[in-house]
Amino acid sequence: MPDETESTIHEGKFLTYRKTSAGWEYVTRTNAKGCVAILAVTDDKRVILVEQFRPPVGRRVIELPAGLAGDIPLQEDEPLLSAAKRELKEETGYEAKNWASLSEGVSSAGLTDEFVTLFYATGLTKMTEGGGVGGEEIRVHYVHLSDVTKWCRDRQCEGLMVDFKIFAALHLSKSLAQSSESRLWY
């Protein structure tokens, strides 16, 4: 049951720390309307992954290209797909011809009200170097679709963390491909 009475414990530049009348504490973003993550696959079946240092976990993390929607001043109503296109180009240097929404869901329902929308991007063209903006220092990796699980496990053995959304997006993209193929029979 939703708790109608909430109080703000602390409001920062990017996050607001809230508490329900029942005592549940959580964070919400103050500067964005959503989060996007992109499973980008090249024509030769390579998944584009990014690696960057994440202060909350104190390590480098392997992730899908991702970012916030509506976090740029005067673009607070930025559509999620526009944010996905922007983030893919900023982080990897690629633009995609084909886009599909895979799914949306909560990132950590006990901690935040943030929703993540997963997109699938194909028909990629390299436009810029990528690497992020504002000193993000993003490393781009190209991993063959059939090797992603092993490659990610190898990175974990090296001490990096791996974001599970990679595996969710891979699973969802397979489901999308299967449903597209089954439609050919109708």
Q: Where are the domains of the chain?
A: 1-30, 33-181
Predicted local confidence at residue 52, as pLDDT: 97
Per-residue model confidence (pLDDT) at position 184: 45
Partners of residue 115 on adjacent β-strands: 106
Beta strand pairing call for 59-63 and 115-126: unpaired
Q: Report how far residue 170's alpha carbon sits from residue 87's, in angstroms, rounded to the nearest whole number.
A: 19
- Three-state DSSP class for 143? strand
Q: What is the pLDDT of residues 116-137, one digit of tens each?
A: 999 999 999 999 999 888 888 9
Backbone angles phi, psi at 84, to 5 degrees: -65, -45
pLDDT along the chain (186 residues), means of 10: 77 92 92 93 98 96 95 86 97 97 93 94 95 90 97 98 97 79 45
| Structural domain 33-181, CATH architecture | Alpha-Beta Complex (3.90)
- What is the per-residue pLDDT for 172? 95
pTM, whole model, 2 decimals?
A: 0.89
The three-class DSSP label of residue 14 is: coil
Separation of alpha carbons 141 and 66, rounded Å: 14
